[in-house]
Structures are given as structure tokens and as C-alpha cells.
């Protein structure tokens, strides 16, 4: 069942023109890189925009509220689960809002 959900989620991200992605990683962000993985593919699902990242193992992670509200149904994981702890603020995860905005810009309807 989980495999079916992942396939459905991936198919839901593919539009008529193909999947629009952008790869970002630790090399670009340096110490500000918020994730525990080296790089991710940014994705956006339409209506309202759902910001997602895909790791090299193919797992999808929800970054914004819109994506989190659909995560269970689509088999997506929470982006917080791959977010590093903030070294200057113990107990707080690093901020990935810039990554979220970059992912949302991949949605044609995003006006932000």
C-alpha cells in the first residue's frame, strides 16, 4: 500500500510538460544548509502550492503547511525529519524557509 501511495504521489507531481525540479545542496548553502542529506530536488505541487523536497533515495518531504496537510494522503514525510538542529539555538531546528520559497516558485501559479 505504501508503495502505491508513493507512486501516486510521484505521478501527481508530473504535469503535462514534465516534472519541473531544481537541485540544491550543501555545496551551495555551506553552513546554512538546513538538511541532514547532501542535496535535494525541489518540487512543487499545484493548488495551493505544496513545497516538497525529494532526497536521493526517492522519499518526498513536505515543507510547507499546504504540503503537510496532504502528506498523510500522499505518503509524504515531514521535512522536519531531515532538518538539522540549529547549532546556535539548542533544541531548535534550522530554518528552511528559503528552500521552501524556492520550491514554491516551481509552481506556475505561485505569485510570491
Query: What is the mean pLDDT of the segment spanning 1-9?
Result: 41
Query: What is the mean pLDDT of the segment spanning 34-49?
Result: 95
> Which residues does residue 61 pair with via DSSP β-bridges, in sequence order?
53, 77
**pTM of the model as a whole:** 0.81
**Rounded Cα gap, residues 97 and 64, in angstroms:** 9
Query: What is the mean pLDDT of the segment spanning 16-41?
Result: 89
Please determine, for residue 70, whether its predicted confidence score (pLDDT) is greater than 80: yes
Burial class (CB in 10 A: 0-12, 13-18, 19+), 50: buried
10-26: pLDDT as tens digits: 444 433 345 689 999 99
Amino acid at each position: 500500500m505504501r508503495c502505491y501511495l508513493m507512486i501516486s504521489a510521484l505521478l501527481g507531481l508530473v504535469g503535462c510538460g514534465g516534472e519541473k525540479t531544481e537541485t540544491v545542496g550543501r555545496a551551495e548553502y555551506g553552513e546554512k544548509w538546513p538538511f541532514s542529506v547532501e542535496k535535494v530536488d525541489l518540487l512543487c505541487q499545484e493548488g495551493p502550492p505544496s513545497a516538497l523536497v525529494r532526497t536521493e533515495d526517492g522519499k518526498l518531504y513536505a515543507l510547507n503547511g499546504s504540503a503537510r496537510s496532504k502528506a498523510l494522503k500522499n505518503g509524504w514525510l515531514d521535512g522536519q525529519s531531515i532538518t538539522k538542529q540549529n547549532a546556535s539555538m539548542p533544541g531548535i531546528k534550522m530554518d528552511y524557509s528559503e528552500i521552501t520559497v524556492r520550491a514554491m516558485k516551481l509552481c506556475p501559479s505561485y505569485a510570491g
